[in-house]
Amino acid sequence: MIDLYTYRTSNGRKVSIMLEECDLPYNLQIVDITAGEQDDPRFRALNPNGRIPVIVDHDGPGGAPVTIFESGAILMYLAEKTGKFLPADPEGRWKAIEWLMWQMGGVGPNFGQAFHFLHQFPKDTPDEALAYGRERYLGEVRRLCEVMDHRLANSDYLAGDDYSIADIATFPWIALHRWYDLDLAETPRLQAWYETIKARPAVRCGMDVPTREEVAGKI
């Protein structure tokens, strides 16, 4: 059994989607980051960086428990555990890892900063700081969407013809497109990719972990 420590964020949803896609049973452990639970010493013992998601696989390598943090590392671990969503051939495997690293190094940080300057900034933030931050990070968000649109002109998915952990990692960020006032029709190949992945049953389930009701019931 796997314990999943998570919350309703794009990084958390990567892992819940992967668990659903792999049909792996898991125990949900809600870490309410709005209440500071990521700083609880018990959680910090699992992830010294104090960020979700984290998994504890009680049937890890050799049957011993293993704890993994960082969403990209978790996706790779689960892919190797199940033999799913990471190609076995070296060329395909490295292409999937390449685009996974692209998400982790580009999409996540820049989308996250753009979201902050649009929706989560302190009330006393100077207007000029907001203007600069929005211009800087929204510009990068749009550029990254164009990179994806260009890539998807040559393949159905980010790493090639098959759905992979690269797509799983990227989808929860693109799913927030309305929060960035992005019109996906301006990047039609990205829009088609988004609609294809959105229709997957496991994605729909994983995007709602934890549910709003579960979060509300914990508070």
pLDDT of residue 219 exceeding 80: no
* Per-residue pLDDT reduced to its tens digit, 41-87: 999 999 999 999 999 999 999 999 999 999 999 999 999 999 999 99
pTM of the model: 0.96
Tokens of 158: 């980010």
pLDDT of the residue at 62: 92
Mean pLDDT of 213-218: 85
pLDDT of the residue at 120: 94
* Per-residue pLDDT reduced to its tens digit, 5-47: 999 999 999 999 999 999 999 999 999 999 999 999 999 999 9
Rama region for 216: left / alpha / beta (φ>0; ψ in -120 to 50; rest): alpha
Tokens of 126: 């100077």
Mean pLDDT of 205-217: 93
* Per-residue pLDDT reduced to its tens digit, 129-181: 999 999 999 999 999 999 999 999 999 999 999 999 999 999 999 999 999 99
Cα–Cα distance, 160 to 151 (Å, whole number):
9
Domains of the chain: 2-85+204-218 (3.40.30.10), 90-200 (1.20.1050.10)
Burial of 170 (0-12, 13-18, 19+ CB in 10 A): buried
Nearest CA among 99, 77, 106 for reference residue 154: 99
Cα–Cα distance, 214 to 218 (Å, whole number):
6
Contact 55, 67 (CB under 8 A): yes
pLDDT of the residue at 154: 92
pLDDT of residue 189 exceeding 60: yes
The secondary structure element, H or E, covering residue 91 is: helix 90-102
pLDDT of the residue at 217: 81
Mean pLDDT of 189-217: 96
Query: What are the strands, taking DSSP E only, across the chain?
Result: 2-6, 26-30, 54-57, 66-69
